[in-house]
């Protein structure tokens, strides 16, 4: 149980598709993230955080409930979605949520996001939030009509005749037609709503606020001032908003790949900038000292920095670029400030932390799967995990302190890496590690309760409607 003097405000900030190694405080010296780096210096930083399942909706389900979504039982697709993928379920009416339980405990709750899948028909993620806002205009959100997109805008993105048939590019151009400065971006609007929320409710404490930002997820096109920080001067090639989730060779040149990464980096810095505005506002309002603030991502992505040279995040590409996420937590009174922790962490531990800091007993009053990071930071109290497991589509992942294993739902191994010798997973030694695969498969099945549901009859598609 928490020993905080008073129940703190609690703020959860999620940045979609943000790789840990693209932030300064996680070792990147080339990307400009001064606000996250300053925040990390005043917070506890977790170096081994991973999603218990993925992608987008699976992670959100875990964060909203504190329970594992793995191994995707009871999956049933809904009509009207943009993604059909194992585990991509709405919130279950039979399970409670963190926000609902915090309301019962006297918290005032708010939620803002531009993550369109949250708000697809029937997804039910606003439960428990007394104020919430959906900022429209990202990716395939059918917000504005593609019919009004001028043909002369298409050449920037490739052959106009081909681009005209690309519904993703057309929808993106329609949605962003009125974006003339960074203040018009959905990222700015998300953080501006969050700033308005804390100002309006600064005397209504404690509050719980969830801020879920789609950037730096595709579409990868940063505002010009941010792109110019990373792009090669004089680039004349096309802007690739959303690469195919596949090996880079054959779909783009090295120069084009570098420009894709430059846009991604620009969006990372855009998020950092508006995160900084939010933190500064929190401090000016006198809310900083009595707030628990977490910053994390749902997952990362690949930039051909793996043995298969994959770009993006197909379900079988569970490499560090996709799996390793940032997790930074600021506690009241600066508990753990400047410390780094190498325990194996799931995203469900974030939810457990909020429960404990609210004074809600996670061992008796609620049923969740995570452990409180506050207990780890304050008291060193932690049930050490020997390993982690995760699932994405029909691919499974396992890691412990030595081994990183990617394996399909039938038990056939795809890749094995010795991360003590090969931390970036560049040398696949699957043919020499039968015992490792056997061990990983045992733990994967143990965590699944003995078997893995296979959804063979469901056409698995990604965010663009393409086969997974």
Q: Which residues pair with 405 in a beta bridge?
A: 398, 416
What is the reported pLDDT for 1? 42
What is the reported pLDDT for 74? 85
Of all residues in the chain, the percent with pLDDT exceeding 90 is: 88
Residue 258 clears pLDDT 60, i.e. is over it: yes
- Of 15-24, 117-126, 184-193, minimum mean pLDDT range: 117-126
Render pLDDT for 182-199 as a digit per residue (tens, 0 to 9): 999 999 999 999 999 999
Residues 322, 300 contacting (CB under 8 angstroms): yes
Q: Which residues pair with 341 in a beta bridge?
A: 46
Of all residues in the chain, the percent with pLDDT exceeding 70 is: 96
Residue 455 clears pLDDT 60, i.e. is over it: yes
Banded pLDDT at 81 (limits 50, 70, 90): confident
Residue 63 clears pLDDT 60, i.e. is over it: yes
Residue 3 clears pLDDT 80, i.e. is over it: no
Q: Tokens 């969050």 — which residue?
A: 194
Mean predicted lDDT score pLDDT of the chain: 94
Residue 398 clears pLDDT 60, i.e. is over it: yes
Q: Tokens 């395939």 — which residue?
A: 140
Render pLDDT for 126-180 as a digit per residue (tens, 0 to 9): 999 999 999 999 988 999 999 999 999 999 999 999 999 999 999 999 999 999 9
What is the reported pLDDT for 84? 85
Residues 24, 304 contacting (CB under 8 angstroms): no
Domains annotated on the chain, with CATH: 9-137+176-387 (3.40.720.10)
Residue 340, token pair as written in the block:
């780094």
Residue 20 clears pLDDT 90, i.e. is over it: yes
Taking residues 73-102, report their average pLDDT: 88
What is the reported pLDDT for 347? 98
Residue 24 clears pLDDT 50, i.e. is over it: yes
- Of 13-22, 336-345, 456-465, minimum mean pLDDT range: 456-465
What is the reported pLDDT for 467? 56
Q: Is the peptide bond before 219 cis (omega within 30 degrees of 0)?
A: yes
What is the reported pLDDT for 363? 77
What is the reported pLDDT for 126? 97
Residue 463 clears pLDDT 60, i.e. is over it: no
What is the reported pLDDT for 461? 65
Render pLDDT for 286-328 as a digit per residue (tens, 0 to 9): 999 999 999 999 999 999 999 999 999 999 999 999 999 999 9
Residue 2 clears pLDDT 50, i.e. is over it: no
Banded pLDDT at 459 (limits 50, 70, 90): low
CA distance 279 to 191: 10
Render pLDDT for 219-254 as a digit per residue (tens, 0 to 9): 999 999 999 999 999 999 999 999 999 999 999 999
Give 220-225's long-range contacts (Cβ < 8 A, gap of 24+).
220/260, 220/263, 220/264, 220/267, 221/172, 221/263, 222/262, 222/263, 222/264, 222/265, 222/266, 222/267, 222/269, 222/270, 223/181, 223/182, 223/185, 223/266, 223/270, 225/182
Residue 458 clears pLDDT 70, i.e. is over it: no
Banded pLDDT at 83 (limits 50, 70, 90): confident
What is the reported pLDDT for 250? 92
CB burial of 451-466 (b: ≥16 within 10 Å; e: otherwise) equals ebeebeeeebbbbbee
CA distance to 20, 305, 306, 395, per residue, from 430 (Å): 26, 19, 15, 16
CA distance 222 to 265: 8
Comparison of pLDDT for 111 and 74, the residue scoring more: 111
Taking residues 113-124, report their average pLDDT: 93
Residue 466 clears pLDDT 90, i.e. is over it: no
What is the reported pLDDT for 407? 98
């Amino acid at each position: 149980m928490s020993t905080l003097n008073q129940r703190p405000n609690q703020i959860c900030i999620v940045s979609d598709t943000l790789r840990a190694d693209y932030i300064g405080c996680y070792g990147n010296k080339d990307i400009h993230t001064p606000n996250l780096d300053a925040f990390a210096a005043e917070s506890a930083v977790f170096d081994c955080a991973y999603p218990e399942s993925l992608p987008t909706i699976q992670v959100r389900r875990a964060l909203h409930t504190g329970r594992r979504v793995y191994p995707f039982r009871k999956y049933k697709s809904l009509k009207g979605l943009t993604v059909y993928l194992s585990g991509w379920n709405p919130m279950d009416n039979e399970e409670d949520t963190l926000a609902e339980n915090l309301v019962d405990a006297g918290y005032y709750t708010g939620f803002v996001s531009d993550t369109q899948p949250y708000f697809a028909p029937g997804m039910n993620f606003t439960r428990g939030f007394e104020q919430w806002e959906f900022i429209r205009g990202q990716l395939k959100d059918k917000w504005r009509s593609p019919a009004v997109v001028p043909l002369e805008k298409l050449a920037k993105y490739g052959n106009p005749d081909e681009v005209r048939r690309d519904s993703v590019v057309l929808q993106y151009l329609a949605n962003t037609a009125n974006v003339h400065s960074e203040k018009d971006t959905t990222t700015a609007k998300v953080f501006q709503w969050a700033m308005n929320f804390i100002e309006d409710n600064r005397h209504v404490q404690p509050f719980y606020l969830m801020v879920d930002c789609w950037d730096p997820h595709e579409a990868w096109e940063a505002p010009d001032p941010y792109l110019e920080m990373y792009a090669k001067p004089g680039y004349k090639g096309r802007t690739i908003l959303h690469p195919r989730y596949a090996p880079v060779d054959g779909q783009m040149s090295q120069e084009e790949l570098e420009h894709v990464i430059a846009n991604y980096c620009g969006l990372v810095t855009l998020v950092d900038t508006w995160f900084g505005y939010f933190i500064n506002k929190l401090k000016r309002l006198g809310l900083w000292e009595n707030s628990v603030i977490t910053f994390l991502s749902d997952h990362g992505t690949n930039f051909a920095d793996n043995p298969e040279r994959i770009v993006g995040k197909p379900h079988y590409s569970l490499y560090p670029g996709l799996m390793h996420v940032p997790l930074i937590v600021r506690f009241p009174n600066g508990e753990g400030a400047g410390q780094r922790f190498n325990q194996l962490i799931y995203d469900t531990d974030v939810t457990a932390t909020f429960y404990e800091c609210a004074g809600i007993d996670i061992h008796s009053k609620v049923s969740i799967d995570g452990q409180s990071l506050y207990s780890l930071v304050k008291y060193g109290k932690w049930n050490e995990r020997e390993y982690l497991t995760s699932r994405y589509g029909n691919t499974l992942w396992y890691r412990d302190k030595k081994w990183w294993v990617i394996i399909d739902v039938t038990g056939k191994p795809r890749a094995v890496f010795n991360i003590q010798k090969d931390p970036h997973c560049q040398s696949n030694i699957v043919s020499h590690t039968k015992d490792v695969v056997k061990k990983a498969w045992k733990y994967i099945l143990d965590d699944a309760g003995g078997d893995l549901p296979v959804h063979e009859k469901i056409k698995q598609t990604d965010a663009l409607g393409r086969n997974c």
